[in-house]
Amino acid sequence: MLQARYQHTLTEAGCDEAGRGCLAGPVFAAAVILPADFSHPLLNDSKQLTEAQRYQLRPEIEQQALAFAVASVSAAEIDEINILNASFLAMHRAVEQLAIAPEFLIIDGNRFKAYPNIPHQCIVKGDSKYYSIAAASVLAKTCRDDYMLQLAPQYPEYNWQSNKGYPSIQHRNSILQYGYTPHHRRTFRVTNPQLRIL
């Protein structure tokens, strides 16, 4: 059973990212402030939901949230500062776009670069424990999927409409055959001893 809040005295935002393990496209992050009494029977870690469920939940989250924001960090920026720092930066960008300034952040995972003047708590598997982190995971995931779907027709060889930039065997083979696009993360390893070109 997910909980509404980690603490009950400060305005709390949940943060999560999507696309950290992809070979192409930005990493996206969302920050969400929900009402203190929020609950939803379907909402859970976005990885535990179907694509249809995520897109069903997104407008409900956006309508019921007190504030929400989604931000991204490009593939070029990821190559420059590494994916861990890029994930933190995406979360920072989302937090700074919130219409309501949070007083406390709960972060999915075990590491975070502190946001100036806002205390935080990292929570391992937080997206399956707290509604605001689960909501952030849904927004980040669906917004990132939308972005990759928009890019997909420009680069049909890479099948982004299906793999969304994740390292499927077909996606890896396409990179080896056709090379990188401007949207690929060049610091990510494409080859793998267990893969063969089909």
Q: How do residues 102-118 score in pLDDT, each as one tens digit?
A: 999 999 999 999 999 99
What pLDDT was estimated at residue 82? Answer: 97
Task: Round to whole Å and give the CA distance between 49 and 139.
Answer: 13
CATH dotted code for 12-151: 3.30.420.10
Query: Quick one: residue 45, left, alpha or beta (phi over 0 = left, psi -120 to 50 = alpha)?
Result: beta
Residues forming a β-bridge with 108: 123
Question: What is the residue-level pLDDT of the chain in tens, covering all 198 positions?
Answer: 899 999 999 999 999 999 999 999 999 999 999 999 999 999 987 788 999 999 999 999 999 999 999 999 999 999 999 999 999 999 999 999 999 999 999 999 999 999 999 999 999 999 999 999 999 999 999 999 999 999 999 999 999 999 999 999 999 999 999 999 999 999 998 876 455 544
Task: Round to whole Å and give the CA distance between 40 and 177.
Answer: 45
What pLDDT was estimated at residue 192? Answer: 62
Contact 134, 46 (CB under 8 A): yes
CA dihedral sign of residues 187, 193, 194, 198: positive
Task: Round to whole Å and give the CA distance between 93 and 23.
Answer: 22
What pLDDT was estimated at residue 194? Answer: 52
3-state per-residue secondary structure call for the chain: CCECCCCCCCCEEEEEEECCCCCECCEEEEEEECCCCCCCCCCCCHHHCCHHHHHHHHHHHHHHCCEEEEEEECHHHHHHHCHHHHHHHHHHHHHHCCCCCCCEEEEECCCCCCCCCCCEEEECCHHHCEHHHHHHHHHHHHHHHHHHHHHHHHCHHHCHHHHCCCCCHHHHHHHHHHCCCCCECCCCCCCCCCCCCC
